[in-house]
A and B are shown apart, each in its own frame.
Chain A
Amino acid sequence: MTDTAPVIHDRSAFDALAEAVPMLRVAEREARVWRRFWRTSALTSVLMPLLFLGAMGVGLGGLVDDNRSSVEGVDYLVFVAPGILAATAMQAAAGESLWPVMAGMKWIGTFHAAAATPVSPPDVFGGRLLWIAARHAMTASAFVVVAALLGAIPSPWGVLAVPAAVLTGQAFAAPLSAYAGGQDSDIPFPLIMRVGIVPMFLFSGTFFPVDQLPDWLEPVAWVSPLWHGVELCRGATTGSLGVASAAGHTAFLVGIVAGGCWWGARTFTARLAP
């Protein structure tokens, strides 16, 4: 079993990269699993937001546009599209960060398998986030293309909505994965979805401007990572965001991602190498 003369094999560029960066090896595992279901997965993750865009942007939008000349300066379809983009990133991130992390940590134990190799616990955490980011980049791009074709993205800055959406997704994936990694049971998960994610989805400026909220509720929207993500995406698609505001929103989201990563590295190390 032990080699006396090592056999030299050709290394592809990805092989060399994966050897250097352990996190990529974990992301590769996620990619392989995804490859088996990619058609259904792509269908759901691209179709769902487009359905929302159709229903809310066009169907509901028709009613709004009959009543008002504009919402924050634009047609309702243009107003709602970036909201849906950012919100979809959030929903997808939540779905990827709760139950699948529980499965990897406890139910199936694939994280433990990875941690027995040169891959370290923080690599396992980071690799998952990397893959989530890659997936979001794909689905966000698809959404932006279709939305643009529907006339929902007037500004050429709209391409920046894709990284904005990815960042929004990470701002949920990082803390939620860290949280789920430390849990022993999935019983709180549906609660988090219904009492955390869904209200955030509905009240963070996705479907109506936050200044319509009662005064006492408005500050709550400002701490919602989704609101920051929506502002960034909307600023990009309508070309109406100033540099200072953009920097502020980005900094907020990056801060959450950083905090989530710190928490996640700690939790994963504690669970995988106690």
Chain B
Amino acid sequence: MSTAVAMLGPRRALRVVEHNARAYLRMWPVFVSGFLEPAFYLFSIGIGVGELVGDLPGPGGSPISYKLFVAPAMLATSAMNGAVFDTTFNFFFHFKYAKTYDGMLATPLSVRDVARGELTWAMLRCGLYATAFLVTMWALDLTPSGWSVLALPAALLIGFGFGGVGMGLTTYMRSFVDFEYVTLAIVPLFLFSATFFPLSQYPAALEWVVRISPLYQGVALERALILGDMGPELLLHTAYLGAVGWFGLRVAGRRLGSLLQP
């Protein structure tokens, strides 16, 4: 009996995914445009500024174009964008105002299912954005290595990481004003995770600060896969993203219960 219930668990969470999918189908232009932002950055900074930058040293010392340096970072960013909005802003709106979850919890769905469901949806969205971005990169001849196929599962991992953390943090927020802090956090992450310029540009003392950024871990992972620069650090990046995501999800699952059913 308990095995059956355990097996049904993840499947029940799919109800949450379905709910979100329906809501977004109605607003599909908004959904689609979420992928555009990193694409615009790729064209503007990657290509536009790329002309000013010239070539950078790539793996093994051979030069790579600047746009090839930036593209994987934008891929990682689009994965982050795909997951963050749903697991912070939307998530907060659902449990605080729309009482969406109250309805769901009146059914056999449990609080854990709700959290898992929301994260699954966020990862789905992030996967869609990442696929679209990868295809764009491929069309622009920016996927030189065969390992690039792993860039998609890597993007999902990034989504898992940011989604989990996002949800966990959101359960601590009290009002929409607190979301200013989300923006305050995302922008420096975006700018300073070796996204637009390599780690070597930083004073040595600050390098470790960049390394703890989850986006940096994602960017480094994607860059390595796209350029075919394989090595043991990839395990580190993977483990880091998996760990933060899992931890955030647990926090969210635990706190959501007391928030919705005090």
A residues with CB within 8 A of B = 37, 40-41, 43-44, 47-48, 51-52, 54-56, 59-60, 62-64, 67-68, 71, 76, 187, 190-191, 194-195, 198-199, 202-203, 207-208, 212-213
Contact = CB atoms under 8 A, between A and B. Distances in A.
Interface string B37-55: 1001101110011011110
A202 B30 contact: no
Contacts of B184: 43-44, 47
B246 interface: no
Contact of B196 (A43, A59, A76, A203): A59
B44 A194 contact: no
Contact of A48 (B37, B43, B187, B196): B187
In the complex, the 8 A-B pairs of residues with the closest C-beta atoms, listed nearest first: A202-B44, A55-B191, A67-B54, A208-B48, A194-B33, A59-B197, A64-B52, A63-B53
Given A67-B53, A191-B33, A198-B37, A213 B201 contact: no
A182 to B, nearest CB: 20
A51 B185 CA distance: 11
B66 to A, nearest CB: 8
Contacts of A52: 191
Interface in B11-38: 27, 29-30, 33-34, 36-37
26 contacts: A43-B184, A47-B184, A52-B191, A55-B192, A55-B196, A59-B196, A59-B197, A64-B49, A64-B53, A67-B53, A68-B52, A71-B52, A187-B30, A190-B33, A191-B30, A194-B33, A194-B34, A198-B40, A202-B41, A202-B43, A202-B44, A202-B45, A203-B40, A207-B45, A208-B48, A213-B48
B50 to A, nearest CB: 9
Contact of A207 (B37, B44, B54): B44
A194 B45 CA distance: 16
Contacts of A191: 29-30, 33
Contacts of A199: 40
A51 B197 contact: no
Interface residues of B, number: 32
Secondary structure call for the A interface:
helix
Contact of A44 (B30, B49, B180): B180
Given A55-B192, A194-B37, A207 B49 contact: yes
Nearest to A56: B196
A60 B49 CA distance: 9
Nearest to B192: A55
B177 interface: yes
Contacts of B48: 202-203, 207-208, 212-213
Given A51-B192, A55-B197, A64-B53, 14 more contacts: A43-B184, A47-B184, A48-B187, A55-B192, A59-B197, A59-B202, A68-B52, A187-B27, A187-B30, A194-B37, A195-B36, A198-B40, A202-B44, A203-B44
Nearest to A43: B184
B155 to A, nearest CB: 20
B44 A208 contact: yes
A81 to B, nearest CB: 15
Nearest to A190: B30
B183 interface: yes
Contacts of B191: 51-52, 54-56
B52 A67 contact: yes
B124 interface: no
Contacts of A194: 33-34, 36-37
Contacts of A76: 52
A178 to B, nearest CB: 22
A195 B35 CA distance: 11
B33 A51 contact: no
B188 interface: yes
B56 interface: yes
B33, B41, B192: residue with the most chain A Cβ atoms closer than 10 Å: B33
A44 B178 CA distance: 12
A67 B52 CA distance: 7
A212 B49 CA distance: 9
Nearest to A79: B52
A44 B36 contact: no
Interface string B55-90: 010000000001000000000000000000000000
Nearest to A202: B44
B196 A195 contact: no
A60 B27 contact: no
B52 A208 contact: yes
Contact of B180 (A40, A71, A208, A212): A40
Contacts of B41: 202
